[in-house]
Amino acid sequence: MSSSTTALADKVAQTIASVVRPVDDAFVPLHEPEFSGRERDYVLDAIDSTFVSSVGAYVDRFEEELADFCGVKRAVVTVNGTAALHICLLLVGVGRKDEVIIPSLTFVATANAVAYTGAVPHFADSEEATLGMDPDKLAAHLDRIAEQRGGSCYNRETGRRIAGIVPMHTYGHPVRLTELMELSKKWSIPMVEDAAESLGSYHRGKHTGGFGMLGALSFNGNKVMTTGGGGAILTNDSALADCAKHITTTAKLPHRWRYDHDQIAYNYRMPNLNAALGVAQLEQLPESLARKRKLAERYAEAFAGVEGLRFVAEPAGCTSNYWLNTLLLESSDEAQLEAILDAANANHIMSRPAWSPMHQLPMYADSPKMNLAVADGLARRLINIPSSPQLLH
Ligand SMILES: *Cc1c(COP(=O)(O)O)cnc(C)c1O
């Protein structure tokens, strides 16, 4: 390994350590949940009420307070973010043999949710400025391959309908939603936002997840707030929200004792126990986001003088939740990336590269795609570093 490779790796590990100050041999995780509010009270209250499962007051309360926080009409909570995304896709009409445009650089859940509907992901490239879907490149790609017929959009190369477009706000940084919404409208392709990573992120003052017809959130243990496992569907369309509620609760028709169901549906609702945790976490969220923001500022200052990489800042006009703080290396030299991950982890600082792009995974290798040069490059240059709010000293 060259001495400059080792030097940068050591410098990165030292710089992270100067911000997060690891104590002795304790490992600094990437993102840890924090339960410093009324979590215990609410969870115990749910247990005492015996309403721990499919119905209960905390579910209703969490849905209302979440919709308020996100500035949308309705929120419907689910067992996890992947399930939320699955339902969003079904509700905009995605089905068997359709195609759905998603970024190749995303967590596998985005692609899997598409596959659950029987549709095929169609991979779009990302851009360096937002780490998300590049609207300019997508516009040129659609001009090349798409055509409109009978109010829908079709891929002329595969003959399949393009039934959805799903931008994802990578590590909490909002994509260029204005341009993507224009594309969605121009080509009659409904937009669903994968906002799993962007609770607390805003695009021109408006919360992410509320721009598409529907948006999906995740409350997995490593996200900005957690319900243990959980997710939510956001929408400004009350009729769609009612459908979401129905289809996530086995399509049971309301009746005091009868079990009647009017379609094949899903058991995707969030249990009351998890919602109790969610209500408490949401109370803590603004304060937690403020601390995460401060931590990101510290990292930005600390890395300002380090050559060979930059700290990823929120895109212009946006407020990011800085879910995972991220470094972007100048070089896509694999040895450099490995050396930095080695040095950081050897210093008990958890850090990890971006996901392998979806088109490189065996199950999605044959999916349609555009040129993915930027996504491929980014995947070799991105490093996530510790981001828990409690790391702020
Ligand atoms: C976390 C996440 C999801 C959903 O994850 P669940 O673990 O199912 O809650 C979906 N998409 C992205 C991009 C994510 O990061």
- Tell me the pLDDT tens digit for each residue of 348-384: 999 999 999 999 999 999 999 999 999 999 999 999 9
**CA 128 to ligand 1 centroid distance, Å:** 21
384 lines ligand 1 (CB under 6 A): no
Could you list the mean pLDDT of each consecutive 10-residue stretch along the chain, which spans 393 residues? 89 95 84 97 96 89 98 98 98 98 98 98 98 98 97 97 98 98 98 98 98 98 97 98 97 94 97 98 98 98 96 97 98 95 95 97 98 98 97 85
SS3 210: coil
User: What are φ and ψ of residue 304, in 5° steps?
Assistant: -55, -35
Cα dihedral angle (107, 109, 111, 113), rounded to 10 degrees?
-160
List the Cα angle 375/381/386 in 5-degree steps. Answer: 115
Residue whose CA is at the smallest distance from ligand 1 atom 13: 107
Helix axes 334-346, 3-20, angle to 10 degrees: 40
For the whole model, what pTM was predicted? Answer: 0.97
Pocket test for ligand 1, best of 220, 355, 384 (most atoms within 8 A of CB): 220
Q: 171 with 284: CB under 8 angstroms?
A: no
Structure tokens at 218: 């995740």
- Distance set, CA 78 to CA 50, 117, 147, 193, 275 (Å): 20, 17, 35, 16, 10
Task: Looking at the CA of residue 83, tell me the nearest atom of ligand 1.
Answer: 8
117 lines ligand 1 (CB under 6 A): no
77 lines ligand 1 (CB under 6 A): no
SS3 149: strand
